[in-house]
Amino acid sequence: MSTVVDLMESRGIQFLGQEIQIPAGVEFWKVARKELSDLWERVPDDGSVKLCLKRDGKDFRIDLGVVSSAIAIAESDVAKSPFVAFERALTKVYHTLNIWKLGRKF
Amino acid sequence: MGLRQYRQEMELVPKQETVLGERRVLIVEDDQSLRPLWEKVLQNKDVPIKVDWATTLDEAERLIRFRYRNGAPYHLVVADIFLDGPGSGIDLWNRYGEESMEFVFVSGLPISKFELLMSLNYGSPLYFKKPLNYMKCSEIADMAIGWGT
């Protein structure tokens, strides 16, 4: 797994908080890797993507960011489940990214 | 290219069209013999109900994520505890229960055992003990109808 993560980091996809104990952690990071790879494919060529998982009391906080020379997006969400927090943050990022893409057409 | 098609291609409009007033239900159940019962119950409701089926945890999670990403989360998730393959309905509840407006468990487990299982997890979703019949399924389906679009 560390080889996969190293490869992703070399592409500009970062994961922070993997040391935090979470329920179904293996499944969570598997989903996160797949979704962030998909997201990375959709950001500008010089873009990077970062996911940060933290504890927020009894809940989990996900900070998700996209950075490139053309756009910077930072979204976060807090939920009892890291899966839900991630899904909500990711949806917000896609929403902003898609509006930006639409704006570039005009 | 019309504006709507353009916006769909830019992923600003969900590719799955939703009908006004439609309720979205996910049934996570590996016992396919129950499918005709659920279909009969849901067809007899006065509101349009879109049903998706999953027999595994992985399939259910993908559907929940897909619906949420397209701005149309499920109004109701009905999940058996024991599913095909790895993972259980309880795993689904723990991971995505917050995302559903209503979440109902169905299983043959005695309620005391269900309560013991849930004491180790957060929240207290509703539980219907199998065997299911038309009345029980109809009562469950009414939970989805209570939500607006």
The owner of tokens 């119950």 is B41
Written as one string, the DSSP assignment of B59-114 is HHHHHHHHHHHTT---SEEEEESB-BSS-BHHHHHHHHGGGSSEEEEEESS-HHHH
The owner of tokens 């939920």 is A79
pLDDT at A67 over 60: yes
**Region A70-81: what's the mean pLDDT?**
94
Q: Is B114:B105 a contact under the CB 8 Å cutoff?
A: yes
At CB < 8 Å, which residues of chain B contact A?
7, 10-12, 61, 65, 68-69, 91, 94-99, 122-123
**Region B30-48: what's the mean pLDDT?**
91
Cβ pair B94:A90 closer than 8 A: no
* CATH T-level assignment (fold) for domain A2-104: Double Stranded RNA Binding Domain (3.30.160)
Confidence category of residue A7, pLDDT binned at 50, 70, 90: low
Superfamily grouping for domain B20-144: Response regulator (3.40.50.2300)
The domain segmentation of chain A, as residue ranges, is 2-104
Q: What is the pLDDT of residues B49-108, one digit of tens each?
A: 899 999 999 999 999 999 988 888 899 999 999 999 999 999 999 999 887 778 999 999
SS3 content of chain B, % helix, strand, coil (to 5): 40, 20, 35
Give the per-residue pLDDT at B93.
Answer: 93
Mean pLDDT for all residues in chain A: 89
pLDDT at B13 over 60: no
pLDDT at A39 over 50: yes
Nearest-CB residue to A102 (from B10, B95, B122): B10
Confidence category of residue A79, pLDDT binned at 50, 70, 90: very high
Give the per-residue pLDDT at A5.
Answer: 63
| Helical (H) or strand (E) element with A52 | strand A48-56
Q: Is A22:A53 a contact under the CB 8 Å cutoff?
A: yes
**Region A82-96: what's the mean pLDDT?**
94
Give the per-residue pLDDT at A2.
Answer: 60
The domain segmentation of chain B, as residue ranges, is 20-144
Longest dimension (CA), chain B: 59
Higher pLDDT, B133 or A4: B133
Interhelix angle B57-69/B89-96, nearest 10 degrees: 30
Rounded to whole angstroms, the Cα distance separating B23 from B19 reads 9
Cβ pair B96:A84 closer than 8 A: yes
pLDDT at A104 over 80: no
| A98–chain B Cβ distance below 8 A for any pair | yes
* Complex ipTM over 0.90: no
